[in-house]
Amino acid sequence: MARLNRTFVLTLLIAVSSVFLLFQLYNYRLSAAKNGLNVLNNKGYLSGKEAHWHLLKRFLGLVHKFKLPVFLVDTVSLALLSQDAVLYRDSQLKDPHCSFLCTHRDFTSFALLGNLWKYDAALLDAASERGLELLEIHGKDPRLISTDDLTAKEIPLHFLFRFNGRVVHVVVLYERSGKYLWHGPLRLTASLDRTFAPFGKLDYGHHAGAYDRPELILTTLDGLDVRIPKNFSGFLHEYSSSRFLECRSREAKAFFQLYPEDTSPEAVDFRMRAKSLLHLASRVLFTLRVPFWLSSGTCLGWYRQCNIIPYSKDVDVGIWIKDYRPDIIPAFQKAGLPLKHKFGKVEDSLELSFQGNDVKLDIFFFYDDGDVVWNGGTQAKSGRKFKYVFPRFSLCWTEFMELKVQVPCETEDYVRANYGPDWNIPVKTWDWKTSPFNVQENGVWPLREWDDVIQVY
């Protein structure tokens, strides 16, 4: 009898313990579903893709609650897309099916349109309620910085949401006066947790970036509603050359303390006409899909003093010769800029000059020559040829005269090559044949070619 009682008691204890454990497991699963903790699948664990999908679902729930103007900018996810994938809607799937948003990386990148959003401090609490850790990165607003005022308030630049070691990175895009979108760099202060995310691997934040405003469409990817750039392949192309450089306002202010800015009516009028001409040239070349950059004195003015040099009397831009198109000349003529001269030929030393409203537009074509690049010059009366040699460079975006425009990323090397070590000292007397630091004699055009390579109008 005693043996039966012990067996009954033991069985009862096992049954009660089992019920208690099942109750605890049930409560855990409820808590996990509410707070974003791991939810076990049939095999007893979450795979990497499933865990990432749950992170994205909770993040997009946060986006919906706060009406955040967010769209997908993850370079790997966008590269996986095709038009068929965008049109295919898989929202009826009951289980996580992550083919596009869950990649081999443990982070996904989104962009937030900063001008369409007002910061809400409740975002932190709402993220925490969903089991998401939030890290905010702030920085100075460059739109408020000028040579007159170097102070600026801080604005949110990056948000990072973390869940079980996986991250959603939100880069904030702000509209600038040139009607383009800009994001700031992701700079870690000493007090920030450098283990919070794989910062060195993130798509955005290694440097500032600039983009044209993309048209967005709403689609369903992996059972989640997300907005993406309609032309996602075009966005990826922009990403590859999006690096942005700010005008050096602090150095420009120091320059003007040594050499006061010319504010005479003539100088102010010239800057306005030069700005108008630069905007017109940008529109023409953009329509032709011909990339260009600020060159010569115009580049020097941007880099040294964040402004047009009033005594330069022209606007200078550079174009790679591979981007030359025969319809460049008629396009500028149609825009109201008559051709002033055409020197050289496509194969050698081509340069074009158009006459604006008392301001000349010079277009210099650059040739690749191994470790260096160069553009040519021609003296009309003698047929003498010159070349101006520069170290190789890449192109970055900047804002100049309320225009998104490109400049050499290695700007000081570019300027120093052209103007020498004293480039920071104004020189008002300039001979294009002898003054440039990088000028070289390059022979003489044969007389039989003069009618083709020396055209003055």
**Which segments of 370-438 are extended strands (E)?**
372-378, 384-391, 395-399, 404-408
Domain co-membership, 280 together with 170: no
| Residue type at 348 in one-letter notation | D
297: Cβ–Cβ under 8 A, 6 or more apart, which residues? 309, 312, 314, 316
For residues 53 and 100, what is the distance between their CA atoms, to the nearest angstrom?
Answer: 10
| Cα–Cα nearest to 375, from 358, 360, 393, 399 | 393
Domain co-membership, 420 together with 296: yes
Q: Which of 220, 242, 264 is the last residue of a domain?
A: 242
pTM: 0.86
Number of domain units in the chain: 2
Q: Which of 242, 267, 291 is the last residue of a domain?
A: 242
Q: Two tokens at 257?
A: 């303390």
For residues 128 and 119, what is the distance between their CA atoms, to the nearest angstrom?
Answer: 17
Q: Which of 242, 267, 295 is the last residue of a domain?
A: 242
For residues 70 and 114, what is the distance between their CA atoms, to the nearest angstrom?
Answer: 9
Domain co-membership, 211 together with 352: no
Pairing mode, strands 339-345 and 404-408? unpaired
Q: Which domain holds residue 123?
A: 48-82+97-242
Residues (pLDDT < 50) of the chain are 28, 31-45, 90-96
Domain co-membership, 238 together with 267: no
| Cα–Cα nearest to 292, from 324, 261, 266, 336 | 324
State the maximum Cα–Cα separation within the chain, in Å, rounded to a whole number. Answer: 127
In a domain, 88, yes or no: no
For residues 241 and 404, what is the distance between their CA atoms, to the nearest angstrom?
Answer: 13
Domain co-membership, 135 together with 270: no
What CATH number does residue 153 fall under?
Answer: 3.30.460
β partners of residue 168: 108, 161
Domain co-membership, 211 together with 282: no
β partners of residue 225: 220
- The confidence score (pLDDT) of residue 197 equals 94
In a domain, 31, yes or no: no
DSSP 8-state assignment for residue 335: T
64: Cβ–Cβ under 8 A, 6 or more apart, which residues? none
Domain co-membership, 238 together with 311: no
The three state secondary structure string of 139-180 is: EECHHHCCCCCCCCCEEEEEEEEEECCEEEEEEEEEECCCCC
In a domain, 30, yes or no: no
Task: Name the helix (H) or strand (E) containing 87.
Answer: helix 83-87
Domain co-membership, 102 together with 214: yes
In a domain, 212, yes or no: yes
Pairing mode, strands 154-163 and 166-175? antiparallel
- The confidence score (pLDDT) of residue 341 equals 97
In a domain, 441, yes or no: yes
Residues 253-304: pLDDT tens digits? Answer: 999 999 999 999 999 999 999 999 999 999 999 999 999 999 999 999 999 9
Task: Name the helix (H) or strand (E) containing 19.
Answer: helix 2-35
Domain co-membership, 200 together with 321: no
Alpha helices in 219-314 (DSSP H): 232-240, 249-258, 265-288, 296-305
For residue 219, give the 3-state DSSP assignment.
strand
Residues 117-172: pLDDT tens digits? Answer: 998 889 889 999 999 999 999 999 998 887 777 787 899 999 999 998 999 999 99
Domain co-membership, 419 together with 281: yes
Domain co-membership, 225 together with 298: no
C-alpha 167: how far from chain center: 21
Domain co-membership, 205 together with 293: no
- The confidence score (pLDDT) of residue 45 equals 46
